[in-house]
Amino acid sequence: MTAAEARPVTSRGAELTSRWDAAMMSNYGTPPVGLARGQGCRVWDVDGREYLDLIGGIAVSSLGHAHPALVQAVTEQVGTLAHSSNLAMHEPGVRLAERLLDLLGPAIPDARVFLCNDGAAANEAAYKLARRHGWAADPSGGRLEIVAAEGSFHGRSMGALSITGSASKRAPFEPLPGPVRFVPYGDAAALTAAVTERTAAVFLEPTLGEGGVVPPPPGYLQAARTACDRSGALLVLDEVQSGVGRTGSWFAMHHTGVVPDVLTLAKGLGGGLPIGACIGIGAAGRLFVRGDHGSTFGGNPVCCAAALAVLDTIERDGLLAQVTAVGGRLARGLAGIDHPLSLGVRGAGLWLAVPLTAPVAGAVEAAARAAGFLVNAVQPDAIRLAPPFVLSTAQADSFVTALPGILDRIAAEAIVTDRDGGSAPAAAGATAPATRTSTE
Ligand SMILES: *Cc1c(COP(=O)(O)O)cnc(C)c1O
């Protein structure tokens, strides 16, 4: 007997949950909400409950949900030419590559693009560029090492996982490609010491994303650039999360003036359609030779049309300025919250984290959802916000107004739990908001 048969079905959410549990692998656990549709910054769950979407499918839905420009571009392209493989070129793919190269800015006149499907694939391509670079320098294997940061996230495929700075994520899947040397994120001296003539590439996020939206100290990326120049290693900036407007600039690197050898993009690029890019700058753009790498679906016409619609809409509607303005207002509002659980705010643009004084982020995420806000417990002690760029000031203000009450609820529950002799409500399931429909 399945769970659905054993229990009366009380809601569509409960029904979807039991079917999920019966059909899906356990790698995501059981998501606490089932979404049915979205419009702008609002989404509705399968039972019709409305939420303000402040996480945007993890920094992906940059234009918001069901944006007319995205709908039109994808609809037209899927009815014209949906797929070509890499046996043929097509206008949307070439145009997207040209647009991305333009957006790099005048400081980067010479670069080349490889299009793929997601962030892990963009970093896999960068990893292979690093191997190509190291092999050219020393075919006997003297320049293989990758330097990456503790707390970093670069994806789940074997290469991307091997450079992800979380030992618990890597451990069950070792041995992974290597050697990889991990250094504490933000420590310029440690990074400089780790980069040698054995280093093929340094992989860095301009700000840790999955690590909790943690910006490095000023000068850190410059130090990485200097260390790579000194040793001949490639500098790879992973802008899968930070890129394409998220911080109020086209790329986060534009805030620093640092030019990498390789730039990787994905998440927000397609506005919800799966596309990634690995951009090789200068000589790194010419490392691959015919046959070195490929992807059947990568840069397919539909996803390229979606990405072009995203870039055009950001430009046409002045969304970079809106990200800066609304993000700044949201950050100031969050920073102004005086609550024993909140430590303020960090991040830039519409890419923010609220650090907490206790590991209760899962409970805060659940309480926020019960109050009608989708946020993300990116770390046990940090809540991440990465809303669509079309977030209005009224929508931003509504969360700033609601957050103290949400935190009060967690603080009150923690006291009750302590009295009961239980543990602090650290896990997402520790509170039982009305929308929690799991049948476990
Ligand atoms: C999400 C993310 C990735 C992985 O992207 P996927 O599309 O999930 O493969 C890589 N790097 C960074 C910085 C990310 O945030």
Burial of 109 (0-12, 13-18, 19+ CB in 10 A): exposed
Among residues 312, 246, 290, the alpha carbon closest in space to that of 99 is found at: 312
Query: Which of these CATH numbers, 3.10.580.10, 3.40.228.10, 3.30.43.10, 3.40.640.10, describes 71-316?
Result: 3.40.640.10
Compute the distance between CA of residue 145 and CA of residue 214 in angstroms, rounded to an integer.
25
Rounded to an integer, what is the distance from CA 52 to the centroid of its chain?
19
CATH topology of domain 3-66+318-413: Aspartate Aminotransferase, domain 1 (3.90.1150)
Write down the mean pLDDT value for the chain: 93
Residue identifier of the C-alpha nearest atom 6 of ligand 1: 119
Rounded to an integer, what is the distance from CA 380 to the centroid of its chain?
17
| Model confidence at 435: pLDDT above 70 | no
- For residue 355, the CA-to-ligand 1 centroid distance in Å is 21
CA dihedral angle for residue 167, residue 267, residue 394, residue 53, rounded to 10 degrees: -70
Q: Mean of the pLDDT values across residues 372-376? A: 98
Lowest mean pLDDT among 35-44, 106-115, 431-440: 431-440
What is the bridge-based pairing of β-strands 276-281 and 373-374?
A: unpaired
The pair phi, psi for residue 396, each rounded to 5°, is -60, -45
Compute the distance between CA of residue 8 and CA of residue 128 in angstroms, rounded to an integer.
52
Question: pLDDT tens digits, residue range 309-351?
Answer: 999 999 999 999 999 999 999 999 999 999 999 999 999 999 9
Closest ligand 1 atom, residue 118 Cα: 7
Question: pLDDT tens digits, residue range 84-130?
Answer: 999 999 999 999 999 999 999 998 989 999 999 999 999 999 999 99
Closest ligand 1 atom, residue 120 Cα: 9
- Using left for φ > 0, alpha for ψ between -120 and 50, and beta otherwise, residue 25 falls in beta
- Ligand 1 pocket, CB under 6 A: 118-120, 123, 153-155, 205, 209-210, 238, 240-241, 266-267
pLDDT-based confidence at 417, cuts 50/70/90? low
| Contact of 418 with 426, CB cutoff 8 Å | no
DSSP string for residues in 21-59: HHHS-GGG---S--EEEEEBTEEEETT--EEEESSHHHH
**Percent of the chain scoring above 90 in pLDDT:** 90
So what's the pLDDT on residue 190?
98
| Model confidence at 157: pLDDT above 90 | yes
| Model confidence at 432: pLDDT above 60 | no
- For residue 206, the CA-to-ligand 1 centroid distance in Å is 13
Residue type, 215: P
Q: Which ranges of 275-392 would DSSP assign to H, the alpha helix? A: 301-316, 319-335, 361-370
* Run of H or E residues at 136: helix 119-137
Question: pLDDT tens digits, residue range 263-291?
Answer: 999 999 999 999 999 999 999 999 999 99
Question: Where exactly are the structural domains of the chain?
Answer: 3-66+318-413, 71-316
Q: Mean of the pLDDT values across residues 376-397? A: 98
Rounded to an integer, what is the distance from CA 148 to the centroid of its chain?
17
* Run of H or E residues at 78: helix 68-78
| Contact of 438 with 32, CB cutoff 8 Å | yes
Among residues 297, 294, 302, the alpha carbon closest in space to that of 273 is found at: 302
Compute the distance between CA of residue 279 and CA of residue 281 in angstroms, rounded to an integer.
6
* Run of H or E residues at 379: strand 376-379
Out of 60, 62, 124, 267, mutate this one to test ligand 1's pocket (max ligand atoms within 8 Å of CB): namely: 267
Compute the distance between CA of residue 164 and CA of residue 177 in angstroms, rounded to an integer.
12
Omega of the bond prior to 433 within 30 degrees of 0, cis?
A: no
Compute the distance between CA of residue 24 and CA of residue 17 in angstroms, rounded to an integer.
10
pTM score: 0.93
Compute the distance between CA of residue 8 and CA of residue 428 in angstroms, rounded to an integer.
24
The position carrying tokens 């693009």 is 113
For 432, which DSSP code?
-
Compute the distance between CA of residue 273 and CA of residue 241 in angstroms, rounded to an integer.
15
